[in-house]
Amino acid sequence: MAGRAAVPEVIWARPERTGRGPKPAFTRADIAAAAVRLADAGGLDAVSMRHVAAELGCGTMSLYNYVPRKEDLFELMVDAVSGEHELFEPTGDWRADMLRNARQTKTLMHRHPWMVRLMSGVYGFSPNALRYLEHCLACLDPLEAAAGTKIELVAMLNGCVTTYVSNELSTAERVRSLPWSQEQENAVRIAYLGSQVASGAYPRLAASFLEDAGPIDLDAVFERMLERVLDGFSPRG
Interface residues with DNA (CB under 7 A) are: 17-26, 47-51, 58-62, 64-66, 69-71
Q: Cβ(226)–Cβ(157) under 8 Å?
A: yes
Residue 150 sits in the site that holds a copy of itself (CB under 8 A):
yes
* Binding-site partner at residue 33 among a copy of itself, DNA, none, CB < 5 to 8 Å by type: none
Distance between CA 236 and CA 143 in Å, rounded? Answer: 12
7, 17, 21, 200: residue in contact with a copy of itself (rule CB under 8 A) = 7
Task: Check binding of 202 to a copy of itself (CB under 8 A).
Answer: yes
- 204 interacts with a copy of itself by CB under 8 A: yes
Least Cβ distance, residue 22 to a copy of itself (angstroms): 28
Q: Which stretch binds a copy of itself (CB under 8 A): 31-39, 53-61, 77-85, 219-227?
A: 219-227
The closest alpha carbon to 109, from 47, 182, 162, 158, belongs to: 162
138 binds, among a copy of itself, DNA, none (CB under 5 to 8 A by kind): a copy of itself
Task: Give dist(CA 164, CA 225) in Å, integer.
Answer: 9
Question: Which of DNA, a copy of itself, none has residue 111 at its interface (CB below 5 to 8 Å by kind)?
Answer: none
Phi-psi region of 122 (alpha: psi -120 to 50; beta: other; left: phi over 0): left
How far is Cα 101 from Cα 185, in angstroms, rounded to an integer? 32
Applying CB under 8 A, which of residues 61, 96, 193, 218 lies at the interface with a copy of itself?
193
DSSP 60: G
**91 lies in the binding site for a copy of itself (CB under 8 A):** no
Is residue 9 within the footprint of a copy of itself (CB under 8 A)? yes
Q: Residue 85 and residue 74: Cα distance in Å, rounded?
A: 18
**Nearest to 78, CA basis, from 44, 49, 48, 103:** 44
> Choosing among a copy of itself, DNA, none, which partner's interface includes residue 198 (Cβ < 5 to 8 Å by kind)?
none
Q: Which of the listed partners (a copy of itself, DNA, none) does 51 bind, with a CB threshold of 5 to 8 Å by partner kind? A: DNA
Of 83, 77, 62, the C-alpha closest to 11 is 77
Shortest separation between residue 160's beta carbon and DNA, angstroms: 30
Minimum CB distance to DNA, residue 110 (Å): 25
Sole binder of a copy of itself in the list 25, 29, 205, 218 (CB under 8 A): 205
User: Smallest Cα–Cα separation from 127: which of 9, 10, 39?
Assistant: 10
Dihedral sign of CA atoms 108, 114, 116, 120 in order: negative
In the complex, the smallest distance separating the C-beta of residue 55 from a copy of itself, rounded to whole angstroms, is: 25
